């Protein structure tokens, strides 16, 4: 599967590791830690060893992460998900102002509806205004699903399909998304070939334009 270029990887790393608040997050033994330059110390924020994939909001006020739930994955999901673990994962968020944790996105075992099924959230990314958290889940045979959740309310929506994506943090398309999608080419109304394409989308999932085609 082809991936979006190095500049996206670098941007993701930079957003997670640094902020204008002098804070960064990291994991050790499946727990979430963070360092604050103002406090000049490392603090452990979670326990239990079930936590991973932490990401810091651009303003350094939120940490979102994946937590293994107590919910057993139904066998109905086996056709879509590689059941490496019998437990599904959830999305949690930490408010760094008071260090409280809350469940943001719970499991959805609608395994026959790829737009609703949420069992393995991954690739967490914040919007540049810190209000929305995007994430990716297993969905169709040829594509994952990209979702968005409002951090303050927990309001959840499906955005688009995609095998990889990036939330643009600066510039003309700030707040929009680049999604790498698997699409077919048609000839005489029949699929003749397929390829991976990068498309630009609004946060609501409206296609703007072709960003670039993978070589």
Residue 91, in any domain of the structure = yes
C-beta of residue 132 within 8 angstroms of C-beta of residue 149 = yes
pLDDT over threshold 80, residue 34: yes
What is the rounded distance in angstroms from the CA atom of residue 1 to the CA atom of residue 9?
16
Q: What's the confidence (pLDDT) of residue 22? A: 67
* Domain span holding position 33: 6-213
pLDDT over threshold 80, residue 17: no
Q: What's the confidence (pLDDT) of residue 80? A: 61
Residue 67, in any domain of the structure = yes
Residue 53, in any domain of the structure = yes
CATH number at residue 32: 2.140.10.30
Residue 40, in any domain of the structure = yes
**What does the pLDDT look like over 156-175, one tens digit per residue?**
999 999 999 999 999 999 99
Q: What's the confidence (pLDDT) of residue 205? A: 96
Q: What's the confidence (pLDDT) of residue 128? A: 97
Edge-to-edge strands of the sheet including 23-28? 23-28, 31-36, 41-44
Residue 70, in any domain of the structure = yes
Burial 6-40 (b: 16+ CB within 10 A, else e): eebeebbeebbeebebebbbeeeeebbbbeeeeee
Percentage of the chain with pLDDT > 70?
80
Domain count, the chain: 1
**What does the pLDDT look like over 42-67, one tens digit per residue?**
999 999 999 999 999 999 999 999 99
Residue 1, in any domain of the structure = no
Structure letter (DSSP) for residue 118: B
Q: What's the confidence (pLDDT) of residue 119? A: 92
Confidence of residue 39 (pLDDT cuts 50, 70, 90): confident
pTM of the model: 0.84
Q: Three-state DSSP class for 7?
A: helix
**What does the pLDDT look like over 64-120, one tens digit per residue?**
999 999 998 887 776 666 655 688 999 999 999 999 999 999 999 998 999 999 999
Q: What's the confidence (pLDDT) of residue 10? A: 37
Higher pLDDT, 194 or 162: 162
């Amino acid at each position: 599967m082809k991936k979006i270029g190095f500049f996206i990887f670098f941007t993701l790393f930079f957003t997670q590791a640094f902020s204008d608040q002098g804070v960064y997050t990291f994991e050790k033994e499946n727990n979430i830690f963070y360092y604050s330059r103002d406090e000049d110390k490392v603090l452990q924020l979670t326990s239990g060893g079930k936590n991973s994939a932490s990401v810091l909001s651009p303003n350094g006020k939120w940490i979102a992460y994946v937590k293994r739930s107590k919910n057993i994955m139904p066998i109905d999901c086996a056709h879509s998900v590689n059941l490496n673990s019998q437990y599904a994962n959830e999305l949690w968020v930490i408010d760094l102002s008071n260090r409280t944790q809350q469940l943001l996105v719970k499991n959805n075992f609608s395994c026959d509806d790829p737009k609703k099924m949420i069992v393995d959230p991954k690739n967490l990314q914040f919007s540049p205004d810190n209000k929305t958290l995007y994430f990716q889940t297993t969905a169709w045979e040829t594509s994952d699903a990209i979702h968005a959740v409002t951090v303050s309310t927990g309001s959840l929506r499906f955005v688009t399909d995609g095998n990889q994506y990036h939330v643009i943090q600066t510039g003309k398309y700030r707040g929009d998304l680049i999604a790498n999608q698997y699409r077919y080419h048609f000839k005489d109304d029949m699929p003749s070939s397929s390829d991976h394409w990068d498309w630009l989308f609004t946060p609501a999932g409206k296609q703007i334009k072709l960003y670039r085609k993978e070589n």
